[in-house]
Amino acid sequence: MGMKKLHFILAAVFFLVLAWSAFTWDHFTWILETAPGMAAFVVLALTFRRFRFTGFTYCFILIHCIILFVGAKYTYAQVPLFNTLKDIFHMGRNNYDKVGHFAQGFIPAMVARELILRLEVLKRRGWLVFFVVSVCLAVSALYELIEWLTAELSGEAADAFLGTQGYVWDTQSDRLCAMVARDLILRLEVLKRRGWLAFFVVSVCLAVSALYELIEWLTAELSGEAADAFLGTQGYVWDTQSDMLCALVGAIAMLVFFSRLQDRAIAKTAL
């Protein structure tokens, strides 16, 4: 199949599924949930002449968008198939949102890896700020996962554990993280070493996950809507941490199982 035909088919499927998802009872939530997919389409369309991803990556980007659109149609807490699975396996909640967050790690990992490899950004110091911010957000996300794991294993309530941390030095710790990350990246000259590729891909994915959680929180606060409709927490206190864990697992799964396939697809574009 030619690339032009593939691009046309992918775009057609994108708009068909988007139109299908619009037949829903909650159009405000639909707009919020489909916005990332529509924004991604606009960005990819605007940059299409300057940079084209492999068909392999475009297919997975479409899969991610479809996951978003299905969640937008039913809301993540009410996707029918996962309601059925919840009943069959006696789960406490509809876990379709975890599929979305797994994809939130898996597909951005694929996108980030292809960009890093094809644009050779690890050789460009101009990307230093981006990677420093990604590492800092990734550290913050990882810390949330450690808090969750510690609280679960210790049997303590969240407040008992989180209360010992405090927020007095939050700004200073953020600055320290940025300074340490920047210094290490410069001293170790990691931007010149492909061996750090997986580290930066995972950092970018965790940063995306953390940033998405911030956007969800801010949107819920500004909209005045109930958090569950948009956030899909379903009353789970550790929903944010478990979402980021799914993203981390997704990123690692992509690196472990799909890196070679992506390398082959990238090699074909160079021919």
The pLDDT tens digits for 111-161 are: 999 999 999 887 777 888 788 888 888 888 887 788 778 777 776 554 555
Length of the chain in terms of residues written: 271
pLDDT at 139: 81
Where the chain has pLDDT below 50, the residues are 158, 164-172, 226
Distance CA 60, CA 111 (A): 9
pLDDT at 226: 47
Cα 162 from chain centroid?
Answer: 25
DSSP string covering 220-261, please?
Answer: HHHH---HHHHH--TT-TTHHHHHHHHHHHHHHHHHHHHHHH
Nearest CA among 21, 22, 15, 58 for reference residue 38: 15
Cα 32 from chain centroid?
Answer: 16
The vertex-262 CA angle with 12 and 117, nearest 5°, equals 110
pLDDT at 197: 87
Parse the chain into domains and list their residue ranges: 3-269
Q: Which two tokens stand for residue 52?
A: 């084209």
pLDDT at 171: 45
Amino acid at 198: A
pLDDT at 167: 45
DSSP letter assigned to residue 24 = S
Distance CA 68, CA 65 (A): 5
pTM of the model: 0.84
DSSP string covering 74-116, please?
Answer: H-TT--HHHHHHHHHTT-SS--HHHHHHHHHHHHHHHHHHHHH
